[in-house]
Each structure stands twice: as structure tokens, then as C-alpha cells.
Amino acid sequence: MKTSFKLFDFAGAPVNISLWFFLLFLFVPFSYVIAIFISVLIHELAHAYVANRSGWQVYEIRVDLFTGSASVDTNIPERDSIPVVAAGPLSNLGLAVLSLFLYAIFGQSNPLFGDFMNDFFIVNVFMFIFNILPIYPMDGGRLLKDFLFLKMRSNRRLARKIAGGVSLVFSIGLLVYSLSISAVIMAVFSALFIYSALIELSIINQSK
């Protein structure tokens, strides 16, 4: 059974949306679903655009439930990977700033548009902050790992261990924060991040 459908092509790759994404309409207000869709899509298109401009192949861009992905060549070296990864969160920061300008220009005269820009701003600020946290496999965690690999070429094992430890600490902090504000979905993701970090650290320790 087909679980996604193609929207268009970008950077030589299909842009697909998962049918699971539409479950958001059951739990999230309509305006937020539209804001999430646009924000996640542009976030992933930004990853794909920078990768394509750097000469790396893009295989698929996908919008899924709560997440998105841009599948690119896994052989990208750290020096090229850093701008590719950074493009996603920076696109959300840019969209947040843009929403402020649009709200200032059109929001007062059009309350409906103003309300949407407010939702759009909140979504993009959240995505920017969430994605720059140094938690793997989020963008911030990938940036930290790439940066450490560049700076510690002679000891990549230690670089992985530092990145894994930082990811674990921030994941635990995110879980505590999520529980304190009763953000169940974010708490679930935090638990998955903790598990992923523990597995990573266990693999590193076993590779002595």
C-alpha cells in the first residue's frame, strides 16, 4: 500500500509527503498544520539545495509526521556537510524573521493573515531552537559531530565520544523539560534520543 505521494521534483530528486502527515489535522489546529508543512518543507529543501549546489546527489526530500528528511549522498565530507546541515535551521530562522515583517506590513489590516503569521513565527522559532540543540541525529548534533571530526582528525573516536556525551546530556535535559511542561510527544522523542546516545556510547566503548 502506498504511504506517500509525490508533490514535485527539486534538485533532481522527488519531493514526497507521507500520508501519516495528515494525522496532524486530528490533533493540531488547521493553521498550525499548514505552518508546519511549509516550514518543514522549506527546511528540507534548504538541505537539498545546498547539497545539490555543492555537487552532491540528492535522492529524496520527504515530509513526514512531525519530521522531514532530505536523503543525500552519505559520502559527503565534513567540510561540505556542515553548510548542508546548517542550511535547514537557518532557513527556519529566516522564515521566522520574514513572518515578523509580513505581520508588521499586513497583519494589522488582515487579522486572519496576522494570526497565521503568528503561528508561522512560533513554528519556525521552535524548529530553529529544537534543531540547533546538539542532540544527534538532529541538525545540531550532526553539526557538532562534523565540527569535532574536522578539529580532531587524529582522534575521531574521542570526537564521537564527546559528541555522544553532549547528545546524552542535552537529551536528558530535554526530557526533563518536556515532562515539566507535559509535552508528551517531545518527551517521547527525548527518550529516543537518550536511547540513541547510549547505544552510540556503548559502541564506542566496545571499540577500544
Q: Where do the structural domains in the chain lie, given as residue ranges?
A: 1-132, 134-208
Q: What is the mean pLDDT of residues 190-199?
A: 96
The DSSP secondary structure of 17-86, one letter per residue, reads: EEGGGGGHHHHS-HHHHHHHHHHHHHHHHHHHHHHHHTT--EEEEEE-SS-EEEEE-TT--HHHHHHHHH
Is the pLDDT at 8 greater than 90? The verdict is yes
Q: What is the mean pLDDT of residues 12-37?
A: 95
pLDDT at 27: 87
Quick: pLDDT tens for 81-102: 999 999 999 999 999 999 999 9
pLDDT at 1: 66
The answer to whether the beta carbons of residues 39 and 95 sit under 8 Å apart is yes
The answer to whether the beta carbons of residues 120 and 101 sit under 8 Å apart is no
Is the pLDDT at 24 greater than 70? The verdict is yes
Question: Which pLDDT band holds residue 154 (cuts at 50, 70, 90)?
Answer: confident
Question: Which pLDDT band holds residue 208 (cuts at 50, 70, 90)?
Answer: low
On whether the pTM is more than 0.85, the answer is yes
